[in-house]
Structure 1
Amino acid sequence: MRTRCLGRFTHLLHHHELWHFHRRSLAGGLALGLFIASTPLLGHVPLVLIGALLLRVNIPAAVGAALLTNPLTMPPFYYFAFRVGETVTRFLGLPLSAGRHLDLMQLINNWHNLLGEGGRQLWSAYLITWIGSLLIGTLAAATGYYLTLAGWRLAVVWRWRRRQRARRLPPKAV
């Protein structure tokens, strides 16, 4: 089966791990989605789809996790990422500083200043946000991966024990 929009690449979507919920496929998809969701980029879903195809992880789990940062949650998340990045750069002694005195209205009024000091401050703030978001994304991906594996294991053990108990019980009298 070939679709016109994918052309020659349709065969890539037929791998069973991309769609079925297996232990490692689901955990990998969740980890990939959480990591990509934390990056300050546009187009999370296409990046997740490409990553899921390359890593052979569950596409629905990856896309679902990537949608955690949506237009409502992005501003607080990236503010938190900026704060984390600022703390890390200060701790490591890196020469990045966004300058707290950056006044947006002053930059708008003096738009030519955007190419000078204002542009450097905005670029520095972007790099600090990247540092924080990569740290948060790595921690979220690792946590999501191992919690998914642990949750899967607990669910399997719970079902196995329930099945064992059901076998041992005597039949009910009617």
Structure 2
Amino acid sequence: MVTQTLCSLRRWLRALEPKARAHLGRGWLAQFQPWLEQRALFRFQRQPLARGVAAGMFCGLIPGPLQIPGTLLVCAWLRGNVVAGGVATFYTNPLTTVPLYALAFCLGALVMPGLQTLPDWSGLAPGGDFSVQALGAWMQALGMPLLAGLPILGLLMAVLGYATVQLLWLAPALQRKRRWERSR
């Protein structure tokens, strides 16, 4: 069942490639098509997809509106799929930002000298209520450990994303190989 789902996902992704190429051939994007094609930015194959997901996972920790432009630049540099990179940035959202930043703070505290403690939310928010101002004050209080931990967490997320795409892409082939070896 899982193998069939993964195979159909791969077929669906491969079917997207001609559609993306057709859109690139029209309008003002046509002049950039050779450069885009050389960079594999719209190839739905294993390596460009894995590199795109890794770029998106890394750039997903960049604040707000800079995530997608950062992902586009990193995908162009790494020759990764921009669609996969853009979609991968959505793991950060209003529900996951605070836990991810707390994890980044803990990672940064591990590599920074001295004792680093996570700031208490209730000390920054009046009455312990959530507000945008309280979130901003809490993030400012995280300081240097957060700045040190964000790139570390970004690299960890990128490696996990890259490895996951590689494993999911190769899972049907590995399963076929195991079945073939058992039948021999």
1:124 is displaced (CA, Å) by 6.7
1:18 is displaced (CA, Å) by 1.8
Residue 47 of structure 1 corresponds to 70
Aligned mate of 2:102, from 51, 69, 79: 79
Residue 21 (1) aligns with residue 44 (2): yes
**Which of these two proteins has the greater Rg computed from alpha carbons?**
1
Structure 2, unaligned stretches of length 5 or more? 1-24, 127-136
1:64 is displaced (CA, Å) by 1.1
Residue 143 of structure 1 corresponds to 160
Aligned residues: 148
Q: Which structure 2 residues correspond to residues 17-166 of structure 1 after superposition, within 5 A?
A: 17-40=40-63, 42-89=65-112, 93=113, 103-104=123-124, 125-159=142-176
| SS of equivalent to 1:31 | helix
Distance change in 2, residues 1:99/1:149 (3 Å): closer
Q: What amino acid is aligned across from residue 88 of structure 2 in structure 1?
A: A
Q: What amino acid is aligned across from residue 130 of structure 1 in structure 2?
A: L
Q: What amino acid is aligned across from residue 156 of structure 1 in structure 2?
A: A
Give the Cα–Cα distance (whole angstroms) in 2 for the partners of residues 45 and 13 of structure 1. Answer: 17
| SS of equivalent to 1:70 | coil
1:87 is displaced (CA, Å) by 3.4
| SS of equivalent to 2:94 | coil
Give the Cα–Cα distance (whole angstroms) in 1 for the partners of residues 171 and 78 of structure 2. Answer: 25
Q: TM-score, normalised by structure 1?
A: 0.64
Give the Cα–Cα distance (whole angstroms) in 1 for the partners of residues 116 and 30 of structure 2. Answer: 45
Residue 172 of structure 1 corresponds to none
Q: What amino acid is aligned across from residue 155 of structure 2 in structure 1?
A: T
Residue 17 of structure 2 corresponds to none
1:62 is displaced (CA, Å) by 0.8
Give the Cα–Cα distance (whole angstroms) in 1 for the partners of residues 147 and 63 of structure 2. Answer: 7
Residue 113 of structure 1 corresponds to none
1:125 is displaced (CA, Å) by 2.6
Superposition RMSD in Å: 3.6
The range that moved more, 151-160 or 130-139, is 151-160
Give the Cα–Cα distance (whole angstroms) in 2 for the partners of residues 105 and 153 of structure 1. Answer: 48
Task: Tell me if the contact between 1:3 and 1:10 (Cα under 8 Å) persists in the aligned partners.
Answer: no
Task: Tell me if the contact between 2:105 and 2:118 (Cα under 8 Å) persists in the aligned partners.
Answer: no
Task: Tell me if the contact between 2:39 and 2:80 (Cα under 8 Å) persists in the aligned partners.
Answer: no
Identical-residue share of aligned pairs (%): 29
Distance change in 2, residues 1:15/1:44 (3 Å): same
1:161 is displaced (CA, Å) by 6.8
